[in-house]
Amino acid sequence: MKKVLALVMVCVFAALMLVGCGSSNKTDWDYIKDKGEMVIGMTLFEPMNFKDANGEMTGFETEFAQAVCEELGVKAKFQEINWDSKEVELKSKTIDCIWNGMTITDERKQNMSISTPYMENKQVMVVKKDKVEQYATAEGVKGASVIAEAGSAGEEVAQGDEFFKEAKYVSGKSQAMSLMEVKAGTSDIAIIDFIMAKGSIRPDSDYSDLAIIESKSFAPEQYGAAFRKDSNTTEKVNEAMQKVADSGKLKEIADKYNLTDMLLLKAK
């Protein structure tokens, strides 16, 4: 009887080991594919990810991510996040991807796996229209209140560029909030992505009284989508991105949002 029990215990242990081995062989892409969806972390800002008049998600990044996920055979699920906690959310698997006008930096490349760069960008100052001349120089910026999104490329410029060394910096929750602060007059200058500024400041928008200081820009950069460190999902997404570009779909999306000139990813 003891021998039979011992044999049963050995078999159970072996079975558990096999299950464990099977689980450990699952890749990050297997995890996403098995769920049938890619959870994409983002913040709301035009023209990248925003809600239309019907409350539906839209924008350049939204449509691009949806087209790539369609190629991959999974659903794109968008989840609003605190941008300052994006890497924590990615590691904890609250999200599977950061796809939201994310600037590629050396630090981010060390902590995450980042896709092929697909768009270029830069940081610009947005001010009230009647303040463009005043804030176009470092002398004019002295004592001005400057706001940028916490953890963003704009914040790095505000805190590290000599141009702003005598300005007063405060961090904001988002780029959209930074624009609202300037509109309300509680901040003088917002440092945000050129692409967002271009999409937000239109004659028919809430920010028609704001303007980009075109004579001064900072930190030329490139956008990429980010995945968990060493994830094999990145390679899958890169291949799908190129297919979307080759089909002409990427250019079609960029044309819709007036961003074609900023594209780095082209059809082969």
* Pairwise CA distance, residues 172 & 27, whole Å: 36
Residues 156-201: tens digit of each pLDDT: 999 999 999 999 999 999 888 999 999 999 999 999 999 889 888 8
3-class SS of residue 139: helix
Instruction: State the average pLDDT over residues 143-150.
Output: 97
* pLDDT over threshold 80, residue 76: yes
Burial of 204 (0-12, 13-18, 19+ CB in 10 A): exposed
d(CA 171, CA 165): 15
Assess contact for 79 and 37: CB atoms under 8 A: no
Question: Could you give the CA distance from residue 142 to residue 10 in angstroms, rounded to a whole number?
Answer: 75
Q: How long, in residues, is the chain?
A: 268
Q: Are 158 and 191 in contact (CB under 8 A)?
A: yes
pTM of the model: 0.74
In the chain, CATH 3.40.190.10 covers 28-118+224-262, 121-221
**What's the CATH number for 28-118+224-262?**
3.40.190.10
* Calpha distance 59→75 (Å, rounded): 17
Report percent pLDDT > 90 for the chain: 79
What does the block give as tokens for 267? 């059809």
Model confidence at 24, pLDDT cuts 50, 70, 90, reads low
Residue-wise pLDDT tens digits, 202-226? 888 889 999 999 999 999 999 999 9
| Average pLDDT score, the chain | 91
- pLDDT tens digits, one per residue of 106-137: 999 999 999 999 999 999 999 999 999 999 99
Domain 121-221 matching CATH 3.40.190.10: the answer reads yes
What burial letters (b/e) apply to 5-23, b meaning 16+ CB within 10 Å?
A: eeeeeeeeeeeeeeeeeee
pLDDT at position 155 = 96
User: Is residue 22 predicted with pLDDT exceeding 50?
Assistant: no
Lowest mean pLDDT among 14-23, 52-61, 142-151, 157-166: 14-23
pLDDT over 80 at 10, yes or no: no
Average pLDDT on 236-245 reads: 98
